[in-house]
């Protein structure tokens, strides 16, 4: 637990294990959670109970990871991401037990099997969602509880079901957008810029 | 661990954390489980390994909570409820990371975001079921493994799928009822009383 | 923690609990995992963080059990099985809380309620898959992430969805087979022998 050497303002529950030296100030790690060495976690994160963060995982700042989630090597969570309870990440497209005779060769080199996942800034992964290997989830996307994500997800897209399908758009504030690409709740408006949804610059001004 | 001050007959695994003073006699809390202060748990419950019960959660008596389940603030489980392994509760309809600039205002007051869940007496939540925020699950309802509950569930209803749909009725004993609203296994009969199924009074006598 | 009496070459994380005397050489048990007494675990297994293995469970050799999985009494995992993160097993077809008045009689004898699960040699259970009670998963079957398995699964079958349906065949190496029952990746060929797929003997020679 070398974390205190670099950042003095971390809340570590007495039963939490934090072996990484790269955890930012203001981050809290709760009961029975385990952050391995060489995992990177930014500032002001909330790492909840029974979470596991593997060596090689990268977590930005102000990220919330609710209970019972594992963040593997190969997974990157950008700033402000919300990971609901029981969300499941993956990092291998053709998993077999690595010590079995049928598969042992494939696991000799990490590049043979490791598929990368990126969750972009501000996205929400709802409770119990599953993200297949090699996927990018766009900025502020809203993944519904129980969705199984099998393809890349556009910025601000709302995804529902198993397999997940797009059901509309979500605002930065979390509410669904109407057909006019505007939020009835917070009044933000959005425009299409080169095929990507963005907050309307006029609206920002 | 003040629990022993009020109830002397609680089984607490050596690795369990119980910070609540409101846990009833005969309740067992297993390895690496964590019951926070101001969580209420009744008598003769079985709180299994790696379970988390948050401050503000309310759990009745004779409730079983299998492994890896989190019971949040806002969730009420009445007496005799069965919560299967990996069941996931939620308490926020529009979740974003609370410290992100896009959402921070919403999380200043709990009434802005907290949605309540009630699971009525004797209901079963099958393994890995997901319950969306703000839902009531009726008495002795039978939620199938893997079901995603998106609407309120009637008493005795059997729910299946993602999103869950009603597939019939379940008896108090757990078996499916036949079309005659009677259980072939335990012989209980049911009647419709003001739109709710109840055990037949004549049958009870 | 009597394990060291029989097998000296086991890696036990300092926070892991291993109460079984039947854990094979080379097996690793990671943080906050719990192996109960009278659970059997073979050699060279990888039992990851927050896993629970109950008394009566049987686990073969070279098995990988990823994080947050519980292996119950009644579950058998043969050699070389891969169990993805968050996979959920079950062992009761009509679960109710065992101490409730409606169900208490049924739980007096284990044979009244315990349903057995067998996962055959080399099979993969993808992340977050759910296996209903009483099911056999065939050799080298490939269960997709998020699949809910409601029926027995043939050897080498690839299963997808909730409820899971068969989508094709998987090779021992983990890749999907083509229509010709051959693997484009590792070149193994398969033949139908009495209704079961097997590796082609000619091909083996």
Q: What ipTM was reported for this prediction? A: 0.94
Q: Apex CA B52: angle with CA B51 and CA B57, to 5°? A: 125
| Rg value, chain A, Cα | 18
* Closest to A96 measured CA to CA, from C83, C69, C86, C42: C83
Q: Is A24 on the interface with B (CB under 8 A)?
A: no
Q: Do residues B76 and B115 touch, judged by C-beta distance below 8 A?
A: no
Which chains have 3 or more CB–CB distances shorter than 8 Å to chain B? A, C
Q: Is pLDDT of C204 > 80?
A: no
- Give bridge partners of residue C35 from the DSSP assignment: C18, C53
Q: Is pLDDT of C58 > 60?
A: yes
Which pLDDT score is estimated for C71?
A: 98
Q: Does C86 sit within 8 Å of A97, measured CB to CB?
A: no
Distance from CA of C37 to the nearest CA of A (A): 22
Calculate mean pLDDT across residues B23-42: 97
Q: Is pLDDT of B159 > 80?
A: yes
Measured over all CA atoms, what is the biggest interatomic distance in chain A, rounded to whole angstroms? 62
Per-residue pLDDT tens for C13-33? 999 999 999 999 999 999 999
If you average pLDDT over every residue of chain B, what do you get? 93
* B3: Cα within 13 Å, side-chain hemisphere: 29
Closest Cβ–Cβ partner in B88, B102, B163 for A127: B88
Which pLDDT score is estimated for C9?
A: 86
Which pLDDT score is estimated for A1?
A: 37
Which of chain C's residues have a Cβ under 8 Å away from the Cβ of A98? 46, 64
Q: Is pLDDT of C124 > 70?
A: yes
Which chains have 3 or more CB–CB distances shorter than 8 Å to chain C? A, B
Rounded Cα distance, B62 and C107, in Å: 14
Cα A110 to Cα A40, A106, A178, C49, C171, distances in angstroms:
19, 8, 44, 21, 21
C166 burial level (CB within 10 Å; 0-12, 13-18, 19+)? middle
Q: Is B48 on the interface with A (CB under 8 A)?
A: no
Tokens (6 digits) for C56: 């009566």
Put simply, the chain B residues between 100 and 159 with a CB less than 8 A from any chain A CB are 100-103, 106, 128, 130, 132, 148
Residue percentage of chain C with pLDDT more than 70? 95
C67 burial level (CB within 10 Å; 0-12, 13-18, 19+)? buried
Q: Does C94 sit within 8 Å of B62, measured CB to CB?
A: no
| pLDDT tier for residue C104 given thresholds of 50, 70 and 90 | confident
Per-residue pLDDT tens for C146-192? 999 999 999 999 999 999 999 999 999 999 998 889 999 999 999 99
Which pLDDT score is estimated for C1?
A: 38
* Closest to B102 measured CA to CA, from A184, A157, A82: A82
- Give bridge partners of residue A170 from the DSSP assignment: A176
Calculate mean pLDDT across residues B178-199: 91
| pLDDT tier for residue B201 given thresholds of 50, 70 and 90 | confident
Mean pLDDT by 10 residues, chain A (205 residues): 55 96 96 98 98 98 98 98 98 97 92 97 98 98 98 98 97 92 93 91 62
Which pLDDT score is estimated for A99?
A: 96
Which pLDDT score is estimated for A5?
A: 42
Which pLDDT score is estimated for B4?
A: 43
Q: Is A34 on the interface with C (CB under 8 A)?
A: yes
């Amino acid at each position: 637990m070398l974390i205190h050497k670099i950042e003095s303002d971390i809340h570590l529950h007495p039963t939490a294990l934090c072996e990484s030296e790269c955890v930012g100030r203001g981050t809290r790690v709760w009961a029975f959670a385990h952050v391995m060495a060489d995992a990177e976690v930014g500032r002001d994160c909330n790492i909840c109970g029974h979470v596991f963060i593997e060596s090689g995982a990268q977590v930005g700042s102000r990220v919330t990871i609710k209970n019972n989630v594992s963040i593997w090597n190969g997974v990157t969570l950008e700033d402000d991401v919300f990971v609901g309870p029981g969300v499941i990440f993956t990092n291998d497209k053709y998993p077999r037990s690595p010590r079995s005779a049928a598969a042992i060769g494939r696991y000799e080199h990490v590049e043979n099997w490791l598929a990368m996942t990126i969750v972009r800034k501000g996205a929400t992964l709802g409770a119990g969602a599953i993200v297949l290997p090699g996927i990018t989830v766009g900025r502020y996307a809203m993944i519904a509880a129980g969705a199984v994500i099998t393809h890349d997800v556009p910025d601000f897209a709302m995804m529902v079901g198993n397999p997940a399908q797009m059901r509309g758009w979500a605002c930065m504030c979390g509410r669904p957008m109407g057909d006019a690409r505007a939020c009835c709740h917070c009044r933000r408006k959005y425009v299409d810029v080169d095929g990507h949804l963005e907050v309307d610059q006029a609206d920002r001004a």
